[in-house]
Structure 1
Amino acid sequence: MSQPASVLIVDDEPNVLRALRRVLRSETYQVLTASSGEEALEILAEEPANVVVSDNKMPGMDGAELLSRIQASYPDCIRILLTGQHDLDAVTRAINDGHIYHYIAKPWNDDDLRFILRKAVAFFESEHERQRLEALTQTQNEELKRFNSELEARVDARTAELTQVASQLDSAHEALKHSYVTTTRVFSSLINMRLPERHQTNSQITQVIKAFLQAHPVDEGLRRDLLMAASLYNLGKLSWDDQLLGLASEKMFGEERDRYRKYPEMAGELLMALEPLHGAAKLIRYHQERWNGSGFPNHLKEEAIPWGARLLRLCVDFIELQRGLMLDRHVSRDNALKLLEKLAGRVYDPELSRELVAFLQEHAPDMGISDASVMALSTDKLEPGMILVRDLHSKAGHLLLNEGRELTEGLIDKLISFEGTESIRYTLLVRLPDEEALIEDESET
């Protein structure tokens, strides 16, 4: 949200209102107050709030009734009940009639209250974003219907577009000799014009390869070939129709499977027409070969597969597993790494697989993090003293930990326990505390 969240506090006791304002003084919220349910409704009519915190026991309209009326008129507003005693009937009525998000007992704990409000605001923002995305999806679906209605006419346009792409590939031959990077970007953009968004994986694969090669240097020629191959590896899919593009590879059978198995060879043949791309074309042609010889197109085995093609295969599968392009589901980052380990020795070069998995367990170039000091770790690898470098949210979108939070042993144990209850595995982006700062802290003590 571009503006600070608005929180309305309702209580008939001025001392309570002042106390709550003090508690929230360090927060970024716009805090509004009302001394009665009637006044609260008047304020909401003029200035809707994101979150309402209401005392239960108030003269006239009590908190449960107020939250029920707010729920009816402002359903998006997050409602929290503040009760001076454990009044089960009032809480039950507020849940049933007002659909409250949470209730807080007096006297409250300041830290708990701030944490609950942060979660409430985060929940409001996530719901707001969900509604925005639903509206966007509806708009896109309508556009898709219009697109499908024109499909027959667009077939000829696509054929012309593919012909134009081939023509551009030929005409770019001379320029490619002088500028590999620029020309590769042009080709990659042309590919992305044809492929659906979730198939536009070349950017992430390039990031992974570039970061891995910084830690495991190779000669400049092989590095250039690998980066160009990462940008152009799916060139052979340009001739696929929409139905085939929408399938995960495990769901392809018969003729569809045959076309899938030809895409590396087709891309390699297209690029072999351009002399500066011969090295990249060879890596693309063989990147679907398997360590045990069961791959395609030539059933190469072990060391007969070019090293660059072996690395490209690992990086392609790592990203495509997460995008749902191989299996008929999206695989989490941690599980994708586990599959690379599990299939080492059959599909992948075992030594290269071990090196890449170890690298990606500590670095996250595929998540937009190029800082070598930042590590992507599962909860079982966390250690006290590590600093969180990106907010951690729950599966439901609630903020669990803020960026900059120092992890403690107790906090790590709570995260592991929370994973068990939610049946989910989290990957945290963390870095170790600055060593010089630690030395200064120890000297001061």
Structure 2
Amino acid sequence: MSEPEEMNGPAATAAEVEAGQAGSILIVDDEPGVLSALRRLLRRTRYEVHTAESGAAALELLEAHSIDLVISDMRMPHMSGAEFLARVQQRWPDTVRLLLTGYADIGSVVSAINEGGVHHYLHKPWDDQDLLLTVRRSLEQHALRQEAARLTELTRSQNEQLKQFNATLEAQVKARTEEISQTVMFLEKAEEELKRNFTAMLKVCANMIEMRCGALGGQSTRVADLARRLALASGMSVYEAQEIYFAGLLLGIGKLALPDAVVQKSIDKFTPPESRCYYQHPLHAQMALMPVGNLQPVGVLIRHQHERYDGRGTPSGLSGADIPVGARILSIARDYEGLQSGALLGKVVSDPQIVSIFRAQSGLRYDPLLVESFLKLLNEKLTGDNDHVCIETARLKPGMRLADDLRTPKGVLLMTRSSVLEAHHIAQIRRFEESEDARFSVYIARDNPVVADRTAECSADTGVDGVQRVRVTGA
């Protein structure tokens, strides 16, 4: 039997409303008088009250309604209170269970607690206030447990959502990081390619200058290489050394404005007017490079390449530390190349004689400290081990890396140092070699695996930059 209690009794107190005392109660007792008395007692509360006269009827009510608290008599026919509460515990473990007994037999109470999981027990006859207080506290604890379970589930759910969000965010960050890394890598490669192309263009310009002025092929590159090594050996930064390298490549660009009669004559044979005309070429170079912002510092170094350490040079008569250090380095590299090639004195000068000339001019024409660094560097290069080998074009293979610029016997630049050969490069080189009717000297880095297979006889010679090279003379 179910008798929901109407809210027609005294209104719930403010404290009860504030405390949220609403709940659903099931009273089970085989005595109608007891059920009636308990209904009247609970009428003053906000609880929804159901009653049942047996355990079986109570179980049916529990199936049909959501019950928060059960008050059961201990001694009932067919199903005892302990047995009924045990079933309630099994089927509806969250429901609060109270035992109402008129017996003082402690064994019955223990059995109900053990079998039915009773939260509290009350004696018959009961004290109204004690019963109401017990019911209220039991329902409060029930509500707190439910709220704790709800919050626990909510926390678990939110933690799971947060975990998924973090995983998604981590994947997005990883993907974005990889995307940025790829972009940076692409930009770095593009920058490296741009630098290589820029350097290659400067070498092409230097090659055109040499062709115009009748200089030996690769002369500007050798001056530039030597100047860069001397700059690094003197403690300058890579950036500063690179700037000096560019100046070395373009050292003679101002000579394009000179008459043929001047550029094709050695310096030692100049007449006074020709000498004055010749030494104007650094100024022409600076003006020619002025439109290119990145090459303006290079133009300054080229302008002062003929200054002397003792102040008797041109065009500004600077001396000592007032001369840009890059210009001081360029003058040493330029004159060394000129002495070795014969362009400076009209004849080739041997290395021992070159060393004597630089020592004699130390402190006069050249910076003494740079001269010492240069002579030390020159000695190391003359006695050092080779890191490259010269092979015939027939033995070239894709993937080989050039250890030096590739030039025709006439000095025309075909490919720059550090370029990696591809199949179409090799085919083009062989066609050029056939059209020129001459054998090309191709210098390949020794770290290429194919270089280890030496099937040709080689002879060694020392280049104008002091680096010993290996030339293939036969296969």
- Bin the TM-score by the shorter chain: 0.3 to 0.5
User: Rg bigger for which structure?
Assistant: 2
TM-score normalised by structure 2 residue count: 0.39
